[in-house]
């Protein structure tokens, strides 16, 4: 199984979580590539069986500008990802009513690109960081098991 982790981060927390996810999957002997959406073309992601897509929530329930820019370019190029499965994780702040809303927005965009989005979407409060990392490790194991059953 070829796996990619891609992320759209504004202030670095989503980047850190994505790096920890890569470290975890590497330890489990998966081959994993890590991509920042600012430096990635969407066509690259279509080469993977599974893409973990991390995004931070901006303001009160909006996609962050980095993710918006990536998806705007992707939609303009009419990318189709019907052979790629995505698993979405979203970071946010629970003090906002729209906590982790960027995960739902990312899900909707990916579905419009014909991608299959595996469930559940994981929403994370980044603090405490160790707790967020542990949650994403458990979630990633569930996603990979889910994919193994479907294959």
Residue 10 has φ and ψ, to the nearest 5°, of -95, -45
Query: Does residue 105 register a pLDDT over 80?
Result: yes
- Asked if 46 and 114 count as a contact pair (C-beta separation under 8 A), the reply is no
62-100: per-residue pLDDT in tens? 888 889 898 888 765 556 666 789 999 999 888 777 877
25-60: per-residue pLDDT in tens? 999 999 999 999 999 888 888 889 899 999 998 877
Quick one: what percent of the chain has pLDDT higher than 70? Answer: 93
Length of the chain: 151
Looking at residue 76, its pLDDT comes to 56
Residue 103: its H or E element = helix 101-112
pLDDT interval class at 149 (50, 70, 90): low
Looking at residue 30, its pLDDT comes to 95
Among the listed residues 101, 99, 51, 95, the one whose alpha carbon sits nearest the alpha carbon of residue 74 = 51
Looking at residue 77, its pLDDT comes to 52
Domain count, the chain: 1
Q: What residues make up the domain containing 106?
A: 3-150
- Asked if 87 and 118 count as a contact pair (C-beta separation under 8 A), the reply is yes
Which CATH number does the domain housing residue 127 bear?
3.40.50.360
pLDDT interval class at 21 (50, 70, 90): very high
Looking at residue 151, its pLDDT comes to 46
């Amino acid at each position: 199984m070829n796996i990619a982790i891609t992320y759209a981060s504004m202030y670095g927390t989503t980047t850190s979580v994505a790096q920890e996810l890569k470290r975890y999957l590497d330890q489990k002997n998966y081959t994993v590539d890590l991509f920042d959406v600012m430096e990635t073309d969407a066509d690259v992601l279509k080469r993977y069986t599974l893409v973990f897509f991390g995004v931070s929530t901006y303001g009160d329930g909006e996609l962050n500008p980095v993710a918006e820019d990536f998806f705007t370019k992707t939609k303009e190029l009419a990318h189709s990802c019907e052979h790629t499965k995505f698993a979405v994780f979203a970071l946010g702040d629970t003090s906002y009513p729209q906590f982790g809303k960027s995960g739902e927005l990312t899900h909707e965009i990916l579905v419009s690109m014909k991608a299959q989005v595996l469930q559940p979407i994981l929403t994370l409060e980044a603090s405490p960081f160790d707790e967020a990392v542990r949650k994403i490790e458990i979630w990633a194991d569930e996603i990979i098991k889910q994919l193994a059953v479907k294959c």
